[in-house]
Structure 1
């Protein structure tokens, strides 16, 4: 696979220039203490760069929020498995998220394609127009707006469930480091 250009995957290329600036703008809301303005629909993921070891941040849309045994959030890698945050989570799955004004220590669980298919199907039922736009943005063709079609597309999207660990999140910028 390419380094995220999207040329050989059919996906949209990773944003550069002014598009990258716009994608990263919500991070500033969290840095200035205004992350709560984004509500529960987005979260700030604080992780560690797999090659640099430096703290990294990205704001992601929450696809689902679950609360069976404690809060968890499911997010999708719209740019596929080449997205830096996704690869960083593969290398160090213990990270921190901030949802609204609350921070949580979480562990990343990578969903198998069949589970991703169900997540996408449920998302499409709740947000049909947005689901179709999201697929188009990712460069994934949706032939018809049916549950079966969204299941098919969902198998191609890497989904990650972020599950609360019950530990206090780090406050010193060492996101992703496993507490000793």
Structure 2
């Protein structure tokens, strides 16, 4: 099963397939597990979109996401250049947000909670990320989105 998950993460059409649903106002079908992130291209300045899985939602105005492909992920690099973004999640559409990369200590705490609260999902996610990217789930960047 891990091999399938890793291949899916590396398949562009598959990872982009939720985007039209979010843009059509149907993001609620993902029940808050996925979000649509709009960010600006750091060179082009044009809007870019990516569907991401939430790791944690510590408050209604805060969402934690992980950059499964590490610091080289385009959306992550774009947020480093300009942290202003927009988020679609659940019934919320097109909410302004500011992104902040968590410190190593904050990331470890988030991951510890995730591991404790979702042990099966953690094990599967860790193996998929490690197989797809050769990065440890402990070393990837975690980002907090603060919704306005």
Coarse TM-score class (shorter-chain normalised): 0.7 to 0.9
**Relative to 1, partners in 2 of residues 1:83 and 1:29: Cα closer, same or farther, differing over 3 Å?**
same
Aligned pair count? 138
* 2, 21, 29: which one aligns with 2:13: 21
Instruction: State the match for 2:139 in structure 1.
Output: 156
Instruction: State the match for 1:132 in structure 2.
Output: 123
Q: Is there any run of 5+ residues in structure 2 with no aligned partner, and where?
A: 1-5
The structure that is helix-richer by fraction is 2
Calculate the TM-score normalised by the size of structure 1.
0.71
* 23, 28, 41: which one aligns with 2:33: 41
* 98, 106, 119: which one aligns with 2:88: 98
* 88, 97, 109: which one aligns with 1:118: 109
Choose between structure 1 and 2 for higher RCO, CA contacts under 8 A separated by at least 6 residues.
2
Question: Counterparts of 1:88 and 1:14 in 2: how far apart (Å)?
Answer: 23
Secondary structure at the aligned position of 2:140 is classed as coil
Instruction: State the match for 2:62 in structure 1.
Output: 72
Calculate the TM-score normalised by the size of structure 2.
0.85
| Residue pair 2:54, 2:64 contacting (<8 A) in 1 also | yes
In the TM superposition, structure 1's runs of 4+ consecutive aligned residues that sit over 3 Å from their partners are 12-16
How much does 1:101 deviate? 2.5
Q: Is there any run of 5+ residues in structure 1 with no aligned partner, and where?
A: 1-11, 141-152, 166-180
The structure that is strand-richer by fraction is 2
